[in-house]
Amino acid sequence: MLKVFKKNWLLVSLVFLLITLGMVFIYSASSYSAAVRYNDSFYFVKKQLVGFLMGLVVMLFFINFNYHKFLKLKWAVVAVSLILLVLVFIPGLGKSNYGANRWITIGGFSLQSSEVAKFGFVIFSACYLSKNYQKTKTFWGVVPIMAVGGVICLLILLEPNLSVTLCVGMVMLIMLVVGGMRAKHFLIILIPIACLVPILIIMEPYRLQRLVAFIDPWASPKEEGFQLIQSLYALGSGGLFGVGLFNSRQKYLFLPFSESDFIFSIIGEELGFVGCVLVITIYAVVIWKGVKIAINASDRLGCYLASGITSIIAVQLLINIAVVTGSIPPTGIPLPFMSAGGTSLMVFMGAVGILLNISKGEEQNLNRVNVFKKLKVKQNKKVLKGAN
Amino acid sequence: MYNNSIYSLQKRLLAVFLLIISIFFALIIRLFVLQIVKSNWLTAKAASQWTRDLPINAKRGTITDTNGATLAESYSSYDVYVRASMVTEPVKVAKLLSQVIGLNYEDTFKKVTNTTVSESLIKLQLDNTLAQKLISANLKGIMLSENNKRYYPYGDLLTQVLGFTTIDNVGQAGIELYAEKYLQGVKGYALEESDVNGVKIDNSLSTYIPAVDGCNVKLTIDVNIQQIVENALQVLCEEQKPKTATAIVMNPNTGEIVAMSSKPSFDLNNPPRNNVSELLSSVKNLSVVDVYEPGSTFKVLTTATAIEEGVTTPTEGFYDPGYRIVDGEKIKCWKLIGHGQQTMTDGLCNSCNSVFVDLALRLGTNTMYEYFEKYGFGNTLGVDFLGEASGILMNKQSAKKVDLARMGFGQAVAVSPLQLISAICSVLNGGKLYKPFFISEITDVNNNLVARTTPTVLNKTISEQTSATIREMLEAVVTKSNAINAFIPGYRVSGKTGTSQKYENGKIVPKYVSSFVGAYPANNPEYVVLVIADEPSSGNYFGSVVATPYAKLIFEGIINYKQDAPTEDVEADKLKLEKNIQVPNLVGLSLTEAVSKLSALGLQYEVAGEGEIVLEQTPPPQTHVFKNSIVILTT
């Protein structure tokens, strides 16, 4: 196991750096609000620590869990994901929060179903693609992925949780692209999704208000635009180098969810533009490492699995930063590894565990043709056929 | 050919990665715009919500009397609010508030738990000691804001002069209103860093702009003399039961108002705010804002004008048959049988209307009005008080001879008490009409002088020589007439009584204004006193009985306060007042017989009614009285 860490030292240390930075900023962002609300300024930090310890267990488990076992378990994974998503709606188990059913509570422990389900989807689609990669050129070949993804999206949408739906949808698209779907089929599924937008707005009119608020947040500074304005204030007052660690002013209850979905705003306020770029760079390296693991994976399953996991990290990061910068309409999605939220941290750490597990196969495959060697060969004007 | 090889898979993976990285760059550009380009704009907007202004009330200035005694001052009280969203122990908070302030527990609990509003008012103006109890309990959600409460140490004293403030400490009447801009001070601000709910952040920076406390206003009033006046009026009200009673003490040599009072009045610490009509009527400073027909006290001014203009001398002889006929209209003297032959000075002592009809007619309309203007009638004097009355003068062109004749003895003209006393002061002080004033000095909190009133001569009314004559004549009036009630053995007091009957709807009604104006010391007045009783209802209405004794109380009080030694022979003076005369039985006699009997005994008299036969007398026969005492004859 040490070998795995040693081999992926950069990825592992950057992930732990992100988690640590996350803890620091959770403390900074929530110490005041937690003291006001729970009389304990470490309330969120403690919860995050619990999530981290559990995440560590899950991570170690998956490092040693042969991912090929997923092939047999894929339908079980889908079933578990769907059951968790349905349980949310069962009174007594489901916990309603801010008008949405996103959590289930079992014995005092609450879990956000969609956090698990999105990885469930990745596992399923990776398994499916590894067996059926040749079918992806036909429309019907990609239907199972779209069906499972569609059902999961629908259930998450009903919670309602638009942001995670969006996230799963985008991950699905990436999986389909990586899986080799043809461009025209891509269009076939994009059009219905585009049609879905007005339906979603009709279902929950607050979404339109959010959309309008996103275009001009100052039109309703006290209502819909409030959170976005507060986020922009945080980022804006950060300037180039930030106001300094723990010196955020926006954390004094001005910016709601400053410790979870909007933690990046507090980072931007305290560390400034420089800090933001630095954090994004760390993520970019983590994602690059994920992509490399995918490319160097010993088989298609590993490649698809690593691609899916990496794309979840990337997509969530993009959506999160786009939201806090007011680049897309506000929607709540955690920043991977950093936002307060035990389930999210635990699941992402587990996912990193799977990534590390995949990377173990690389040695067996050193001589296999891969894109990097191919590129070098190309430079030598020598064309080699893929060794599949 | 479509070939889904590992190689093409990897290529697509790289393409997706590059897409993601390019979105990263887009987001970094977005961040650059927000954090660098728009930073200042966003920071400025954000900063406006990070701080909260807390107004700091300025302490209202103190009002003192001329010796520095505090008449009105402010002390701290607290407004209590509860912010339900911050309350962690609602039961405790509600219990504490209801117990300390004495409120209903259920109502308080409702407010404590009402989170639909950000703050609920619990109590305005809570005393400092109770507020400290709330502060020391240190419970979350209780908000206290400091305030200044107005306190009047003397309570029911100088009520109409001082006035009072609203519950928000804004001057509402009297000096409190007039000097508002000096007394109020300048509010300060505390700029505090706060959270979104306006709760101050611990250990945060705060900018503190201190309040500038209001200036202190020093009045010309001497609270000792004011108390003497208040007490005298109190006695007057109890004994004579007038509708209102008014008194002014003025320094004739400066125009300083030394004391001023009107009754009824109320305790300034507890104005009858629930009874608006009572509040409005008793807060009126009648001396300044009200006008009345001065009656016989006005004769002093007619005398001064006439002597100044040379139309008469103190020794000139006049004959009074009991009336004068002017333009075919019979103007009766109050003594219907007439005063007979008398000098000008006697005419003033006897208050003989006929003499003053003559004087007014001799002076003529133009001269009379010229002097009215000099005395300050028909115009405001510019006293430092709001709502000063200018008096009512008949249009000069429409004033007929008969009107002029009446003006000579103080009728058909209306002036404010303040105007009358100011004019009287001018004829006693050598002819200078001073602008009357209340405020002698305004100093700021650091005792720097902001403003000081210097005595202002508005007009030169009469010559020093005439004034000296008037002083002598007015002193004679006290010793020789019904004004004897103001006589104080050993001291020189001058004065003139006045009794005027009221007109209502153009008809004379049995309602009177009884007054007295006098000065002490008579030869070089330092204090001029005016006492007016409006509509006395005890049965008497003569100024000599209803007003003069109370003016005497004031003079005695002042002498006692100033500890002035007697300037005259007290024992000799006392003889003038000795109770060695027995009042004869006069009932049934003709008025002429009765008067000659009284004159022979050295008694003064007043006549009530218009008959020829004495029906009643006060005091009754066989009573022992002082020489020069007044016997009232009812005919």
The verdict on a CB contact (< 8 Å) between B46 and A233 is yes
Indicate whether B388 and B252 sit together in one domain.
yes
For testing contact with chain B, the best of A167, A178, A240 (most B CBs within 10 A): A178
Residue B416 belongs to some domain of the structure: yes
For residue B11, CA distances in Å to A371, B14, B18, B34, B595 come to 7, 5, 10, 35, 140
SS3 readout for B460-493: ECCCHHHHHHHHHHHHHHHHHCHHHHHCCCCCCC
Lowest-pLDDT range, A47-61, A267-281, B198-212, B250-264?
B198-212
pLDDT of residue A23: 95
The verdict on a CB contact (< 8 Å) between A249 and B5 is no
The verdict on a CB contact (< 8 Å) between B7 and A386 is yes
Residue B1 reports pLDDT greater than 60: no
pLDDT of residue A245: 87
Q: Which of B162, B191, B219 is the last residue of a domain?
A: B219
User: Each residue of A176-221: pLDDT tens digit?
Assistant: 888 888 777 777 777 877 787 777 777 777 777 766 666 777 776 7
The verdict on a CB contact (< 8 Å) between A239 and B36 is yes
Lowest-pLDDT range, A152-166, A354-368, B478-492, B494-508?
A354-368
Q: How confident is the model at residue A375 (pLDDT cuts 50, 70, 90)?
A: low
The verdict on a CB contact (< 8 Å) between A250 and B47 is no
Residue B559 reports pLDDT greater than 90: yes
> How close, in Å, is residue B52 to chain A by CA atoms?
13
Q: How confident is the model at residue B476 (pLDDT cuts 50, 70, 90)?
A: confident
Residues of B in contact with A288 (CB under 8 A): 17
Q: Which residue has the higher pLDDT, A138 or B461?
A: B461
Q: A387 and chain B: CB distance < 8 Å anywhere? A: yes
Residue B146 reports pLDDT greater than 80: no
> Which of B21, B45, B195 shows the shortest C-beta gap to A32?
B195
Lowest-pLDDT range, A204-218, B214-228, B559-573?
A204-218
> Which of A273, A318, A327 shows the shortest C-beta gap to B32?
A273
The verdict on a CB contact (< 8 Å) between B20 and A287 is yes
> How close, in Å, is residue A236 to chain B by CA atoms?
4
Q: B203 and chain A: CB distance < 8 Å anywhere? A: no
Residue A306 reports pLDDT greater than 80: yes
Q: Could you confirm whether B426 is annotated as catalytic?
A: no
Q: What is the CATH number of the domain that holds B67?
A: 3.90.1310.10
The verdict on a CB contact (< 8 Å) between A370 and B10 is yes
pLDDT of residue B52: 72
Strand bridging mode B630-634 / B604-608: parallel
For residue B229, CA distances in Å to A352, B225, B275, B427 come to 96, 6, 27, 23
pLDDT of residue A382: 44
pLDDT of residue A95: 67
Residue A370 reports pLDDT greater than 60: no
Q: Which residue has the higher pLDDT, B621 or B560?
A: B560
Strand bridging mode B188-193 / B581-582: unpaired
> How close, in Å, is residue A253 to chain B by CA atoms?
5
Number of structural domains (chain B) is 4
Strand bridging mode B494-504 / B507-520: antiparallel
Indicate whether B397 and B513 sit together in one domain.
yes
Indicate whether B147 and B282 sit together in one domain.
no
Indicate if ipTM > 0.85. Answer: yes
pLDDT of residue B219: 95
Indicate whether B108 and B250 sit together in one domain.
no
The verdict on a CB contact (< 8 Å) between B6 and A235 is no
Q: How confident is the model at residue B568 (pLDDT cuts 50, 70, 90)?
A: confident
Place of tokens 């004769």: B299
Residue B42 belongs to some domain of the structure: no
Q: B3 and chain A: CB distance < 8 Å anywhere? A: yes
pLDDT of residue A381: 47
Query: Cα(B124)–Cα(A301) distance, rounded to whole angstroms?
Result: 75
Residue B507 reports pLDDT greater than 90: no
Residues of A in contact with B200 (CB under 8 A): none
Place of tokens 């002061």: B425
Lowest-pLDDT range, B196-210, B469-483, B530-544, B592-606?
B196-210
Residues of B in contact with A303 (CB under 8 A): 6, 9-10, 13
How far is C-alpha B336 from the chain's CA centre?
40
Q: B23 and chain A: CB distance < 8 Å anywhere? A: yes
Indicate whether B261 and B371 sit together in one domain.
yes
Tell whether pTM > 0.80: no
Q: Which chain B residue's Cα is nearest to A180?
A: B4
Q: Which residue has the higher pLDDT, B117 or B319?
A: B319
For the record, the structure tokens of B429 come out as 């002080």
Query: Cα(B584)–Cα(B572) distance, rounded to whole angstroms?
Result: 25
The verdict on a CB contact (< 8 Å) between B13 and A178 is yes
> How close, in Å, is residue B130 to chain A by CA atoms?
28
Q: How confident is the model at residue B578 (pLDDT cuts 50, 70, 90)?
A: low
Residue type, A202: I
Alpha helices in B309-352 (DSSP H): 344-350
pLDDT of residue B74: 87
The verdict on a CB contact (< 8 Å) between B6 and A303 is yes
For the record, the structure tokens of B448 come out as 């720097």
Residue B43 belongs to some domain of the structure: no
- Candidate list B74, B77, B265, B296, residue with the active-site label: B296
Residue type, B537: S
Q: Which residue has the higher pLDDT, A224 or A279?
A: A279
Q: B197 and chain A: CB distance < 8 Å anywhere? A: yes
Residue A280 reports pLDDT greater than 90: yes
Q: B25 and chain A: CB distance < 8 Å anywhere? A: no
Residue B62 reports pLDDT greater than 90: yes
The residues in B 471-530 lying below 8 A from A, measured between CB atoms, are none
Q: How confident is the model at residue B125 (pLDDT cuts 50, 70, 90)?
A: confident
Task: Select, from the ranges B273-282, B343-352, B374-383, the one with the highest average predicted confidence (pLDDT).
Answer: B374-383
For testing contact with chain B, the best of A33, A132, A185, A254 (most B CBs within 10 A): A254
The residues in A 238-297 lying below 8 A from B, measured between CB atoms, are 238-240, 249-250, 252-254, 268, 272-273, 276-277, 280, 284, 287-288, 291, 294-295
B218 neighbors B441 (Cβ within 8 angstroms)? yes
Indicate whether B472 and B401 sit together in one domain.
yes
B365 neighbors B394 (Cβ within 8 angstroms)? no
Q: How confident is the model at residue A364 (pLDDT cuts 50, 70, 90)?
A: low
> Please, what is the average pLDDT of chain A?
84
Q: Which are the contacts of B366, defined by CB distance < 8 A and separation ≥ 6?
A: B396
The verdict on a CB contact (< 8 Å) between A325 and B34 is yes
Q: Which chain A residue's Cα is nearest to B38?
A: A236
DSSP string, A303-360: HHHHHHHHHHHHHHHHHHHHHHTTSS-----PPTTTSS-HHHHHHHHHHHHHHHHHHG
Indicate whether B469 and B585 sit together in one domain.
no
> Which of B4, B31, B196 shows the shortest C-beta gap to A252?
B196
pLDDT of residue B279: 86
Residue B40 belongs to some domain of the structure: no
Residue A107 reports pLDDT greater than 60: yes
Q: What is the CATH number of the domain that holds B589?
A: 3.30.10.20
The verdict on a CB contact (< 8 Å) between A239 and B35 is yes
Average pLDDT over residues A272-277: 96
Indicate whether B474 and B364 sit together in one domain.
yes
The verdict on a CB contact (< 8 Å) between B16 and A177 is yes
Residue B141 belongs to some domain of the structure: yes
Indicate whether B528 and B395 sit together in one domain.
yes
pLDDT of residue B543: 80
> Which of A133, A236, A321 shows the shortest C-beta gap to B4?
A133
Indicate whether B82 and B181 sit together in one domain.
yes
Strand bridging mode B63-64 / B216-219: parallel
B370 neighbors B308 (Cβ within 8 angstroms)? no
Q: Which of B219, B253, B277 is the last residue of a domain?
A: B219
Indicate whether B526 and B382 sit together in one domain.
yes
Residue B190 reports pLDDT greater than 80: no
Q: Which chain A residue's Cα is nearest to B30?
A: A325
Indicate whether B397 and B267 sit together in one domain.
yes
3-state helix, strand, coil in chain B (%, to 5): 40, 25, 35
Q: Which residue has the higher pLDDT, B332 or B579?
A: B332
Average pLDDT over residues B166-188: 89
The residues in A 56-95 lying below 8 A from B, measured between CB atoms, are none
Q: How confident is the model at residue B89 (pLDDT cuts 50, 70, 90)?
A: confident
How far is C-alpha B367 from the chain's CA centre?
33
pLDDT of residue B561: 93
The verdict on a CB contact (< 8 Å) between B10 and A280 is no
Residue A384 reports pLDDT greater than 60: no
pLDDT of residue A37: 81
Residue B536 belongs to some domain of the structure: yes
The residue range of the domain holding B27 is: 1-32
Helix A162-179 / helix A300-324 crossing angle, nearest 10 deg: 140
Residue B580 reports pLDDT greater than 70: no
Task: Select, from the ranges A133-137, A272-276, B320-324, the one with the highest average predicted confidence (pLDDT).
Answer: A272-276
> Which of B24, B43, B45 shows the shortest C-beta gap to A280?
B24
Query: Cα(A275)–Cα(A278) distance, rounded to whole angstroms?
Result: 5
Task: Select, from the ranges A149-153, B6-10, B593-597, the one with the highest average predicted confidence (pLDDT).
Answer: A149-153
Say how many C-beta atoms besides its own lie within 10 A of residue B456's C-beta: 15
The verdict on a CB contact (< 8 Å) between A268 and B196 is no
Residue B45 belongs to some domain of the structure: no
Residue B483 reports pLDDT greater than 80: no
Q: How confident is the model at residue B249 (pLDDT cuts 50, 70, 90)?
A: very high
> Which is it for the CA torsion A227, A232, A233, A238, positive or negative?
positive
pLDDT of residue B519: 94
Q: Which chain B residue's Cα is nearest to A37?
A: B86
pLDDT of residue A388: 41
The residues in A 159-188 lying below 8 A from B, measured between CB atoms, are 174, 177-178, 180, 182
For B16, the enclosing helix (H) or strand (E) is helix B6-32
pLDDT of residue A163: 82
Residue B624 reports pLDDT greater than 70: no
> Which of B4, B6, B36 shows the shortest C-beta gap to A134?
B4
Q: What is the CATH number of the domain that holds B274?
A: 3.40.710.10
Q: B208 and chain A: CB distance < 8 Å anywhere? A: no
Residue B200 belongs to some domain of the structure: yes
pLDDT of residue A365: 55
Q: Which of B545, B577, B609 is the last residue of a domain?
A: B577
How far is C-alpha A124 from the chain's CA centre?
17
The verdict on a CB contact (< 8 Å) between A238 and B35 is yes
Backbone angles phi, psi at A96, to 5 degrees: -90, 135
